[in-house]
A = this chain, B = another copy of it.
Amino acid sequence: MSRPSIDPERHAERMAAKQKIMNERIKAADKEQGVLLVLTGPGKGKSSSGFGMLARALGHGMKVGVVQFIKGAFSTGEEAFFRDLPGVDYHVMGEGYTWDTQDRERDVRAAEAAWAEARRMLADPDYALVLLDELNIALRHGYLDLDAVLDDLQARPAMQHAVVTGRHAPEALIELADTVTEMKVVKHAFKDQGIKAQKGIEL
């Protein structure tokens, strides 16, 4: 696994731009604005929280986008529920093939194609919220250029919310984010007690 790395100059530029945005926000604290939210840590509830926020935004009649960076069994419930709802634009990385860490080139191509979808949503003010589910995993594997991802997140429309989930959020993403929650495991039925993952809760 190659850890994500960032360019120090682009980092400094992003941080300066963020400082400017934050100062403007503080001046205009009574106005609404988009938030970059990161849900990370090993505890249960990161993706489900992102999907709950999606439901909340849909409840407000907003248009939303989802890109799932890990496909497969863990997301069947959400996908079945949200995929065809009006107002939802739903993409799954590498659809039609199995995530296969034996073929790194293919995984990189799939991640880049998924990011192209994310980038399109992040450039379009019609999307009130963009959920980038398990993006941190793709970053952790080094499948995407972290600087490019951070630049696209920062360049999104002012009113747009972006929610990034997954363990091991890179430090530079945490710095860029407005709100970061770390999910801590207090106890876990399945891991601690050898119980099978449960449909409707885990899957």
Partner of A77, one of B49, B55, B184, B201: B55
Residues of B within 8 A of A108 (CB): none
- State the Cβ distance, A52 to closest chain B Cβ, in Å: 3
Q: A63 CA to B70 CA in the complex, in Å? A: 27
Q: List the number of copies, as a whole number.
A: 2
Complex CA gap A180/B180 in Å reads 19
Interface majority SS (helix, strand, loop, mixed), chain A: mixed
A125 is an interface residue with CB less than 8 A from chain B: no
Taking CB atoms, residues of chain B closer than 8 Å to A200 are: 53, 56-57, 60, 62, 128-129, 161
Mark A residues whose CB is within 8 Å of B. Answer: 22, 25-26, 29-35, 37-41, 43-60, 62, 76-82, 128-129, 161, 163, 174, 177-190, 193-196, 198-201, 203
